[in-house]
Structure 1
Amino acid sequence: MSFLHRVAGRSLRDRVRSSVTREDHLIHNFYLLPLVFFQDDWNIYSFHINSTVSSRYATTVITSRVANRMAESKEVEFHVRIPKNAFITKFRMFIDGQVYDGNVKEKEQAQRQYTTAVSRGQSAGIVSSVGRTLEEFKTSVTVSAHNKVTFELTYEELMKRTLGKYELQIHARPMQPVKDFKIDVHIQEKAGISFLDVKGGLSTNALANAITRTQADKKAWVHFYPTEDQQKACDSCDEQGLNGDLVIVYDVNRNSTLGDIMISKGYFVHHFAPSSHSRIPKNVVFIIDRSGSMRGRKIEQTRTALIHILGDLAEDDYFGLITFNNKIFHWKQELVQANSANLDSAKNFAREISDRGGTDINRAVLEGSNMLNAHPREGSASLLILLTDGDPTSGETNIERIHSNVRQAIAGKFPLYCLGFGFDVNFEFLEKMALQNNGVARRIYEESDAAIQLKGFYEEVATPLLTNVTMSYKGGSNLTQTVFSQYYNGSEIVVAGQIDDNNIDSFIPQAVRTERKTFSETNNPVETSETVSDNQTQRVWAYLTVKQLLQKELLMSGPEKEEVKKNILELSLKYSFVTPHTSMVVTKPPGETADVLDKPKEGKQESRISGNPLQGALPPPPGTADPLPDGLIPLKVTADVGNYYIIK
Structure 2
Amino acid sequence: MVSVGQGVLLFSLLLSSLRGLAGQETSDLDIYSFLIKSEVSSRYAITVITSRVANRANESREVDFHVELPKNAFISKFTMTIDGKAYDGVVKKKEEAQQQYSRAVSRGQSAGLVSAVGRKLEEFRTSVMVAALSKVTFTLTYEELLKRTLGKYKLLIKARPKQPVKHFSIDVQIFEPQGILFVETQGSLTSNDLASAVNTTQSDREVHVHFSPSLQQQQQCFGCQEKGLSGELLVVYDVNRPKSQGDVQVVDGYFVHYFAPSDLTRIPKNVIFIIDHSSSMRGTKIQQTREAMMKILGDLHEDDYFSLIKFNGHVTTWMPALVPVNSHNLEVARKFVEGIKDRGMTNINEAVLKGVQMLSSFLESEAQEGSASIIILLTDGDPTIGVTNLDKIQANVKQAIRNRYSLYCLGFGFDVDYSFLERMALENGGLARRIYEDSDAALQLQGFYEEVASPLLLDVQMNYIGVANVTQTNFSQYYAGSEIVVAGQITDNDLETLTAEVRAKSRDNEVTYHEAFPESDRSLDHYIFKPYIQRLWAYLTVQQLLEREVLLSGEQKKAARERALALSLSYSFVTPLTSMVVTKPEGEDTQVAHKPEEGKRSQGGHVGHQAQLRKQSGLRGHSVQHLYKRLGQSAHAQVHGGQSAPMLKHHDAPSTGKVARIVGADVPILKLRRVLVSNTPPPVTVTRLMPKANLLKVLMPAQGQNTPLCFQIEAPQNFVDTLPKKLVLKVLSDPISGVSINAEMLKGEDFLRVAIHYKDECHIEANSTGIKVTQEGKERFISWTSYAATEHCNGITLALQKEVLEVAAGNMRVDILRHKKSQDSFLWPAIRHQAPIANATGIMGQAPVSYHLKETTPVAKLKILGKEVLGTRDSMVDYSTHTKPTVYCWLVPFSSVVLESLQSVIVSQL
User: Is the TM-score greater than 0.5?
Assistant: yes
* 1:577 pairs with 2:573: yes
Cα distance change of structure 1 residues 127 and 519 upon mapping to structure 2, 3 Å threshold: farther
Secondary structure in 2 aligned to 1:592?
coil
Moved more, 393-402 or 629-638: 629-638
Moved more, 635-644 or 225-234: 635-644
* 1:256 pairs with 2:243: yes
2:517 aligns with 524
Shift of 1:126: 3.9
Secondary structure in 1 aligned to 2:496?
helix
Larger RCO, structures 1/2 (Cα 8 Å, 6+ apart): 1
Give CA-to-partner distance per residue, 1:197-247, whole Å, 9 cap, x none.
112233232222211101100001001111234334556645322233222
1:383 aligns with 374
2:694 aligns with none
Q: Out of 232, 243, 257, which is 1:245 matched to?
A: 232
Moved more, 467-476 or 110-119: 110-119
Q: Out of 637, 641, 644, which is 2:886 matched to?
A: 644
* Cα distance in 1, alignment partners of residues 160 and 483 from structure 2: 32
* Cα distance in 1, alignment partners of residues 23 and 518 from structure 2: 58
1:472 aligns with 463
Secondary structure in 1 aligned to 2:194?
helix
1:217 aligns with 204
Which residues of 2 match residues 284-433 of structure 1 at below 5 A?
A: 284-376=271-363, 377-433=368-424
1:486 aligns with 477
* Cα distance in 2, alignment partners of residues 329 and 492 from structure 1: 37
Give CA-to-partner distance per residue, 1:149-190, whole Å, 9 cap, x none.
111000000000000000012221222221111000000000
Asked if the contact 1:480–1:497 (Cα under 8 Å) also holds between the matched residues in 2, the reply is yes
Q: Letter of the aligned partner of 1:644 in structure 2?
A: T
1:545 aligns with 541
1:505 aligns with 496
The alignment of Structure 1 onto Structure 2 pairs a total of residues equal to: 616
Asked if the contact 2:605–2:888 (Cα under 8 Å) also holds between the matched residues in 1, the reply is no
Q: Letter of the aligned partner of 1:593 in structure 2?
A: D
Shift of 1:458: 0.5
* Cα distance in 1, alignment partners of residues 546 and 110 from structure 2: 29
Secondary structure in 2 aligned to 1:275?
coil
* 1:187 pairs with 2:174: yes
Asked if the contact 2:346–2:383 (Cα under 8 Å) also holds between the matched residues in 1, the reply is yes
Find the structure with the greater CA-based Rg. 2
* Cα distance in 2, alignment partners of residues 301 and 473 from structure 1: 46
2:591 aligns with 595
Q: Which residues of structure 2 form unaligned runs of 5+? A: 1-13, 608-625, 642-656, 659-697, 702-876, 891-910
* 1:533 pairs with 2:533: no
Give CA-to-partner distance per residue, 1:548-574, whole Å, 9 cap, x none.
111112222333322222111101000
Q: Letter of the aligned partner of 1:426 in structure 2?
A: D
Shift of 1:512: 3.0
Give CA-to-partner distance per residue, 1:71-125, whole Å, 9 cap, x none.
1222222111111110000001112222222111111111212332222222435
Shift of 1:474: 1.4
Give the structure-1-normalised TM-score: 0.90
* Cα distance in 2, alignment partners of residues 466 and 647 from structure 1: 54
Moved more, 78-87 or 127-136: 127-136
Moved more, 472-481 or 128-137: 128-137
Secondary structure in 2 aligned to 1:521?
strand
* 1:437 pairs with 2:428: yes
Q: Letter of the aligned partner of 1:348 in structure 2?
A: K
Q: Out of 57, 78, 86, which is 1:70 matched to?
A: 57
Shift of 1:532: 2.3
* Cα distance in 2, alignment partners of residues 523 and 65 from structure 1: 49
* 1:562 pairs with 2:558: yes
* Cα distance in 1, alignment partners of residues 55 and 503 from structure 2: 59
Secondary structure in 1 aligned to 2:273?
strand
* Cα distance in 2, alignment partners of residues 226 and 285 from structure 1: 50
* Cα distance in 2, alignment partners of residues 647 and 519 from structure 1: 61
Secondary structure in 1 aligned to 2:492?
helix
* Cα distance in 2, alignment partners of residues 506 and 557 from structure 1: 38
Q: Letter of the aligned partner of 2:450 in structure 1?
A: E
Q: Letter of the aligned partner of 1:556 in structure 2?
A: L
Moved more, 577-586 or 173-182: 173-182
* Cα distance in 1, alignment partners of residues 566 and 23 from structure 2: 43
Which residues of 2 match residues 24-173 of structure 1 at below 5 A?
A: 39-124=26-111, 126-173=113-160
* Cα distance in 2, alignment partners of residues 236 and 582 from structure 1: 40
Q: Which residues of structure 1 form unaligned runs of 5+? A: 9-34, 613-618
Cα distance change of structure 1 residues 39 and 126 upon mapping to structure 2, 3 Å threshold: farther
Q: Letter of the aligned partner of 1:143 in structure 2?
A: V
Asked if the contact 1:478–1:497 (Cα under 8 Å) also holds between the matched residues in 2, the reply is yes
* Cα distance in 1, alignment partners of residues 498 and 346 from structure 2: 52
Asked if the contact 1:473–1:508 (Cα under 8 Å) also holds between the matched residues in 2, the reply is yes
Cα distance change of structure 1 residues 263 and 391 upon mapping to structure 2, 3 Å threshold: same
* Cα distance in 1, alignment partners of residues 49 and 358 from structure 2: 51
Q: Letter of the aligned partner of 1:479 in structure 2?
A: V
* Cα distance in 2, alignment partners of residues 601 and 323 from structure 1: 30
Give CA-to-partner distance per residue, 1:367-419, whole Å, 9 cap, x none.
11111122221011111100110001111000000110111111111211111
Moved more, 185-194 or 202-211: 202-211
2:803 aligns with none
Shift of 1:608: 4.1
Asked if the contact 1:82–1:171 (Cα under 8 Å) also holds between the matched residues in 2, the reply is no
Cα distance change of structure 1 residues 506 and 58 upon mapping to structure 2, 3 Å threshold: closer
* Cα distance in 2, alignment partners of residues 450 and 464 from structure 1: 24
Q: Letter of the aligned partner of 1:310 in structure 2?
A: L
* Cα distance in 2, alignment partners of residues 398 and 127 from structure 1: 35
Shift of 1:4: 11
* Cα distance in 2, alignment partners of residues 171 and 504 from structure 1: 44
Q: Letter of the aligned partner of 1:519 in structure 2?
A: T
Asked if the contact 1:5–1:36 (Cα under 8 Å) also holds between the matched residues in 2, the reply is no
Q: Letter of the aligned partner of 1:220 in structure 2?
A: V
Asked if the contact 1:82–1:170 (Cα under 8 Å) also holds between the matched residues in 2, the reply is no
* 1:207 pairs with 2:189: no
Secondary structure in 2 aligned to 1:383?
strand
Secondary structure in 2 aligned to 1:579?
coil
RMSD: 2.6
Secondary structure in 1 aligned to 2:515?
coil
* Cα distance in 2, alignment partners of residues 352 and 610 from structure 1: 42
* Cα distance in 1, alignment partners of residues 84 and 247 from structure 2: 45
Asked if the contact 1:257–1:519 (Cα under 8 Å) also holds between the matched residues in 2, the reply is no
Asked if the contact 1:65–1:148 (Cα under 8 Å) also holds between the matched residues in 2, the reply is yes
Q: Letter of the aligned partner of 2:145 in structure 1?
A: L
Q: Letter of the aligned partner of 1:639 in structure 2?
A: D
Shift of 1:37: 10
Cα distance change of structure 1 residues 228 and 130 upon mapping to structure 2, 3 Å threshold: farther
2:825 aligns with none
* Cα distance in 1, alignment partners of residues 245 and 333 from structure 2: 40
Q: Letter of the aligned partner of 1:548 in structure 2?
A: Q
